[in-house]
Amino acid sequence: MRSPRLLALLATLALAGAASTPTWASEPHVGFMRLSAPDASGPPIEVGVWYPTDTAETAPAGGMESLPVAIGAPVVGQHLPLVVMSHGNGGWFGGHYDTAAALVRKGFVVAALTHTGDNYRDQSRALEMTERPRQLGVLIGYMLDASPMHARIDPAKVGAFGFSSGGFTVLAAAGGEPNLAATFPAHCLKHPGNYDCRLSASKPLPASTLAPTWTHDARIKAVVSAAPALGFSFGREGLKGVTQPLQLWKAGDDEILPDPDYAEAVHRALPRAHDYRVVPGARHFDFLAPCGPQAARQLPSPLCASAPGFDRAAFHADFNRQVATFFATHLGVGER
């Protein structure tokens, strides 16, 4: 997800935002805006926002070829719940656009950020793990206080979704306290070939990550973590602060974050009951939106390739439904 060819997929999108009263009969249409959230500790954060609208979808937005949206259409609804999304290492805000759309059809606003310093264009801060939950908090604050649809969002109904490094991010933001100083060196001595250890082999973890102050956000009321990175770094003590309802997903054949040190480690260490789902036959990147023809041509093959016999589209139909139902249930959102 670091290829410069992706730049052609990320067109600048129009902004709009006149509010209105919802009139959809069964489920809303999917609106989309590309926004920029000010960050006092760094450059503005790139944000993609999907939201309910009465305006019919017309065409896909840049880089999201399989999902027609109503670009810049007016937001409809009042007291809308919000889900924020955190992508994996080297990703961008659009990596889970089909999941975002499924949430919109349940009546959610969905805001996904492109993490500054850890995205397909820029890996300069990829090891500064404390930056990720801090930036997620900046995104929540922006959406609730300053975004074009802030007056439409219910601040008491905020959920967080994350994949891979984003799965780690939402656990930390929700109250988790990973201890990388105590766990990471031993982990990499034992598993030098694992992706996280190869990523840090030529550039040690920064002091801010080894002796960190983690940003927790009490506004997060429900969490979905898919294939979380660095799961071994939490332990039972580090997860005792994660008290929100949690849905945890594991790829059954995760070739990037293999058992038992990641999702399984989180599952075993969580002191509270949670919704744990293992997907037989799934590889790590099967949690990303299924690739359309253009993405399949331009993205590195592991991002689009599933194991023989694994139906990624069918999996996402169920995954999106389960994620949307989880957030709707635990944030008190009625069926539409």
- In tens, the pLDDT along 15-48 reads 222 233 344 457 899 999 999 999 999 999 999 9
Q: What residues does each domain of the chain span?
A: 4-330
Residue 65: what residue type?
E
- In tens, the pLDDT along 265-296 reads 999 999 999 999 999 999 999 999 999 888 88
Query: What percentage of residues in the chain have a pLDDT greater than 90?
Result: 82
pLDDT of residue 3: 41
pLDDT of residue 22: 43
pLDDT of residue 25: 52
72 pLDDT tier (thresholds 50, 70, 90): very high
Q: Tell which wins on pLDDT, 18 or 71.
A: 71
pTM: 0.91
- In tens, the pLDDT along 113-150 reads 999 999 999 999 999 999 999 999 999 999 999 999 99
Take residue 33 and report the two structure tokens written for it. 């805006």
* CATH value of 4-330 in 3.40.50.1820, 3.30.450.20, 1.10.4030.10, 3.40.50.970: 3.40.50.1820
Residue that is written with structure tokens 């950020």 in the block: 113
- In tens, the pLDDT along 236-255 reads 999 999 999 999 999 999 99
pLDDT of residue 295: 87
202 pLDDT tier (thresholds 50, 70, 90): confident
Q: Tell which wins on pLDDT, 69 or 65.
A: 69
Average pLDDT over residues 99-110: 97
Q: Tell which wins on pLDDT, 295 or 310.
A: 310
- Would you tell me the crossing angle of helices 131-145 and 165-173 to the nearest 10 degrees? 70
- 3-state SS of the chain is CCCHHHHHHCCCCCCCCCCECCCCCCCCEEEEEEEEECCCCCCCEEEEEEEEECCCCCEECCCCCCCEEEECCCCECCCEEEEEEECCCCCCHHHHHHHHHHHHCCCCEEEEEECCCCCCCCCCCCCCCCHHHHHHHHHHHHHHHCCCCHHHEEEEEEEEEEECHHHHHHHHHCCCCCCHHHHHHHHHHHCCCCHHHHHHHCCCCCHHHHCCCCCCCCCEEEEEEECCCCHHHCHHHHHCCCCCCEEEEEECCCCCCCCCCCHHHHHHHCCCCCEEEEECCCCHHHHCCCCCHHHHHHCCHHHHCCCCCCCHHHHHHHHHHHHHHHHHHHCCCCCC
**CB neighbour class for 40 (10 Å; exposed up to 12, middle 13-18, buried from 19):** exposed
**pLDDT of 256 strictly over 60:** yes
pLDDT of residue 334: 58
Average pLDDT over residues 48-60: 96
Range scoring the smallest mean pLDDT among 1-10, 136-145, 224-233, 308-317: 1-10
Average pLDDT over residues 86-103: 97
pLDDT of residue 328: 98
Q: Tell me the pairing of strands 68-71 and 29-37.
A: parallel
pLDDT of residue 258: 96
pLDDT of residue 181: 93
**Integer angstrom CA distances of residue 96 from 91, 130, 220, 336:** 10, 22, 19, 22
66 pLDDT tier (thresholds 50, 70, 90): confident
- Mean pLDDT of the residues in the chain: 91
Please provide residue 252's backbone torsions phi and psi, each rounded to the nearest 5 degrees: -60, -30
